[in-house]
Structure 1
Amino acid sequence: MTLLAGIRSRIIDTDRLHVGILERDGDDAAADTTVVLVHGNVSSSLFWQEVMQDLPSDLRVIAVDLRGFGLTESLPIDATRGVRDFSDDLHATLTALGLDAAHLVGWSMGGGVVMQYALDHPVLSLTLQAPVSPYGFGGTRRDGSRLTDDDAGTGGGGANPDFVARLQAGDTSEEAQTSPRSVFRSGYVAPGYTSAHEDLWVESMNTTSTAEGNYPGDGVASQNWPGFAAGTIGVLNTMTPRYFDTSGIVDLAVKPPVLWIHGTADAIVSDTSFFDLNYLGQVGVIPGWPGADVAPAQEMVSQTRDVLDAYRAAGGEVTEVELEGVGHSPHLERPAQFRRALLQVIGYLDRPADPAPPTENIILSSSD
């Protein structure tokens, strides 16, 4: 693993599996505030390192590898539990670290994991960065109702086999549109984004386990367009609407404050997602689309907004930060805005100032 300055890794033994985490040199395990960062699909904790370097030194910051990613064991994933295998692993990790509650940050699929966590355990705040819709990925109408009984067009059967093969091979090239590097450039960030750490982001993607029961998961034949439906094991099936629904956060008795931060140029989580097969059918990329009455594109961002509006109406605190021209990775593309919004939701910016605080930890650049 490639680690940036001040970041270290270790393995945590939990009662469920061995979990890889990243921590910062010098962080105090007894710090008043702990922030836990949860990555998304086809990535790992490595993606959080710049954020970890940039957050104030009096916080405790931990980035966790989900099952089958990074340094965490690649045990099979029971998709019929939704993302609960991931959420339960996270709880086991925080328990092993002696953390009763923390501020949780979830990116993409990780947003779904931390929403599920909040349904099952106390949390101090939720930061949802470009999160999967509360109704899962694909196969639903605006109100979250399922399009078909078998969730046709969703799950493991929709993964590109060449992309999976390149992940398995650890491909770092840019020779094909299906290479991890090309997918990062076209899907994870908006056009024009560049980084000196791109090799590190590709390294993170290539930690994805393609063993049976991990990424992408299985699929089954379907009589519904486009001819396949969700299976029962593996990563992509955890987010199919039959198994995944975190809209119940609206009914939480104790509602943690929520930050929703996302970009307007997100190619993955969008009302017009290029990773939604129904939308690809609508624009003619996949032939035979049966029409919007049968297979409408999933309005992912609108669904999230509807649920969070209901959360607010039920007494919860929600802050939305929408970043113009930003893709699927605000923490990489607009780090200063991400940092400020996160520090606001965890209450850090409301603290009384220390007598002599480190300047670099409290002044945010407006140039990002």
Structure 2
Amino acid sequence: MPIIDVAPGISLAHECFGDPDDAPVLLVMGLGAQMIAWDEGLCRALADRGRHVIRFDNRDCGRSTAFDDHPVDMARFIETVKAGDLAAALAMVPYRLTDMADDGFALLTALGIERAHVVGASMGGMIAQRMALTRPERVLSLTSMMSTTGEPEYGRSTPEARAGLFGPRPDDRAGYIAAAERELVWASRRYGDADELRRLAAESYDRGHHPGGVARQMGAMVLDGSRADALRGLRVPTLVIHGLDDTLIDPSGGRRTAELVPGAELLLVPDMGHDRPRPLWPVLVDAMARHTA
């Protein structure tokens, strides 16, 4: 998995699948999740449909550039946001969601790709939305998966999912892997797989355990605010995919995204949570292949 310099001080680990002459599809992952959360089998299945698939580690994650010289106290950040002190909150976070969107374009440029289909999951969906909003001429299509618009009344987490997301996670390898099972709270009720969660946690830990980046990414996501007004003016072909079992970002987040973007297609997937379970890969690959045709 090569690492490439895409901008001063920013290097991104990435991996490509399929024929470089095929239509490029950039996969953007969510909060704290490495590119391997886009399972290799899923990437190859999409590549087999005639797509040049690119997955990468966001900044502050995996093997991409970390910003450890800018620690963020997550509890203090949340308290500051709740208090309405936006200037202080902004000063805590070293980058914005638009910077993460720029990373995606910079990676494409470094790979010699001018325009691409962009697919984002969860926070990655928010980054993908920002990519389509800021540089629509470079986005062939947008797929926003298990994501939302930044409006606080949509896509709310259940208390149990919120506790699972914000609860402390052990820093030692064995404890970190064992704690992955708590993600079942937002996984598909039918297909949730604790063994698969532990396998991915082990691979992620060994590949590039970097918990400090989660708070900075979270800060960038929160401070992006509502994209509702901008999404109303988006003219990029858009597919919205959301699982009906999602408890981390309620399906209202997907419904609202599709409602705002003119002409957007909405695909609500039964038995899908805040995950991409293997039995549903045919549904997801078919939808993405059709949308990126």
TM-score (norm 1): 0.62
Residue aligned with 2:7, SS: coil
Match of 1:183? 182
Report whether the alignment pairs 1:239 with 2:189: no
Residue aligned with 1:235, SS: helix
Q: Distance in 1 between matches of 2:281 and 2:184?
A: 18
Identical amino acids, percent of aligned pairs: 21
Report whether the alignment pairs 1:55 with 2:46: yes
More helix per residue: 2
- Give CA-to-partner distance per residue, 1:136-191, whole Å, 9 cap, x none: 6xxx33599xxxxxxxxxx9xx832x22xx2x33346665xxx1x21333334435
- CA RMSD in angstroms comes to 2.8
Match of 1:353? none
User: Which structure ranks higher in relative contact order (CA pairs < 8 Å, sequence separation ≥ 6)?
Assistant: 2
Report whether the alignment pairs 1:344 with 2:290: yes
Instruction: Letter of the 2:172 partner, please give it.
Output: A
CA pair 197-142 structure 1, distance change in 2 beyond 3 A = closer
Query: Which of the pair has more CA radius of gyration?
Result: 1
Instruction: Letter of the 1:318 partner, please give it.
Output: A
Residue aligned with 2:12, SS: strand
Bigger shift: residues 74-83 or 102-111: 74-83
- Within-5 A mapping of 1:122-141: 122-131=138-147, 133-135=148-150, 140-141=152-153
Match of 1:302? 252
Q: Distance in 1 between matches of 2:111 and 2:218?
A: 29
CA pair 20-56 structure 1, distance change in 2 beyond 3 A = closer
Instruction: Letter of the 2:232 partner, please give it.
Output: V
- Within-5 A mapping of 1:1-368: 9-16=1-8, 17-24=10-17, 27-29=18-20, 31-48=21-38, 49-57=40-48, 58-75=50-67, 79=93, 82-121=96-135, 122-131=138-147, 133-135=148-150, 140-141=152-153, 159-160=166-167, 162-163=168-169, 166=170, 168-171=171-174, 179=179, 181-194=180-193, 197-203=196-202, 205-206=204-205, 207-211=208-212, 214-216=213-215, 234-240=216-222, 242-247=223-228, 248-252=230-234, 255-270=235-250, 301-312=251-262, 317-330=263-276, 332-347=278-293
The structural deviation recorded for 1:263 is 1.1
Residues 172 and 202 of structure 1 are in contact (CA less than 8 Å); yes or no, is this contact kept in structure 2? no
Q: Distance in 2 between matches of 1:261 and 1:82?
A: 25
The structural deviation recorded for 1:130 is 0.5
CA pair 195-182 structure 1, distance change in 2 beyond 3 A = closer
Residue aligned with 2:201, SS: helix
Q: Distance in 2 between matches of 1:327 and 1:143?
A: 13
Residues 118 and 249 of structure 1 are in contact (CA less than 8 Å); yes or no, is this contact kept in structure 2? no
Off by >6 Å, runs of 4+ in structure 1: none
- Give CA-to-partner distance per residue, 1:107-129, whole Å, 9 cap, x none: 11100010011111130111111
Instruction: Letter of the 1:321 partner, please give it.
Output: L
